[in-house]
Structure 1
Amino acid sequence: MKVIEFSHEHAEPITLFESVSASSVHIGDGVGEAHVYCIYFEPNSVIGRHQAGYGQLFLVISGEGWASGEDDHRVKLTAGQGAYFERGEFHSKGSDTGMTVIMVQVSDLNPQTIHITSQPST
């Protein structure tokens, strides 16, 4: 698992299309079948350990929770952070207090590496 930072401080101004006061963070690119979900975690919720069928971005947009990858070590995630799971990687996620997440699944997903931490701190 890799932690992804997509908070506002990492955003770059959008200069195309006569944009005004808008910015973005390039999170990744992919090829193949794709699925996007909004997931609501209630307090004390868990999605149990399973193998990722797709490359997956798990992006926290509100609240806080945790995710774990192959090593089964829980890493805290808050709004503006996320996790990337490679296709086939065993993982789980959950929240003690509640969180809302956008989950993007793509057959072959390549996250933007500029804001990825491969050795997340706890």
Structure 2
Amino acid sequence: MRIYDFDPRAGQPVPIFQSRAAQVAELGEGSGESHAFLVHFERGGVIGPHLAEFGQLFAPMEGTGWIEGGDGMRHAIRPGQVAFVERGEMHAKGSDGGMTALMIQIRDFTPLRLAVRRAQSTP
């Protein structure tokens, strides 16, 4: 499991569609079955330990929480960060105070290195 902090300098300007003051940062690429979810954790909410059936991006949008990787250690996560969980990795996630997150699952997913890695564990 890896957690990335996003830096606006990691993005690229959008040169089309009469765009201005807008940047995009590609998160990764993949293929195969995919799913996108909004996940809401109430105070004390948890999705318990389980094996990831897909490569997974987990991006908090509101509130703060934690994600636990294969090493069993909890890592804090907040808006502006995204966690990548590898397919087959044991993981869990939750929040003490409440959190809403975007979760994207792609069968064969490879994240791109676009920000500084903050925390890592292995499956």
Give 3-state SS (helix, strand or coil) of 1:66's partner.
Answer: strand
Cα-to-partner distance string for 1:25-76 (whole Å, 9 max, x where unaligned): 2111111111000101111110000000000000111110000110010000
Give 3-state SS (helix, strand or coil) of 1:70's partner.
Answer: coil
- For residues 80 and 118 of structure 2, the distance between their equivalents in structure 1, rounded to whole angstroms, comes to 17
Q: Which runs of 5+ in 2 are unaligned?
A: none
Q: 1:44 to 1:93 in 2, by over 3 A?
A: same
CA RMSD, Structure 1 to Structure 2 (Å):
1.6
Q: 1:30 to 1:116 in 2, by over 3 A?
A: farther
Shift of the alpha carbon at 1:116? 5.0
Residues 1:94 and 2:82 are matched in the alignment:
no
TM-score by structure 2 length? 0.89
Q: How many residues align?
A: 120
TM-score by structure 1 length? 0.90
Q: Residue 56 of structure 1 corresponds to which residue in structure 2?
A: 56
Aligned-pair identity (%) = 39
Q: Which runs of 5+ in 1 are unaligned?
A: none
Alpha carbons 2:42, 2:95 under 8 Å: kept: yes
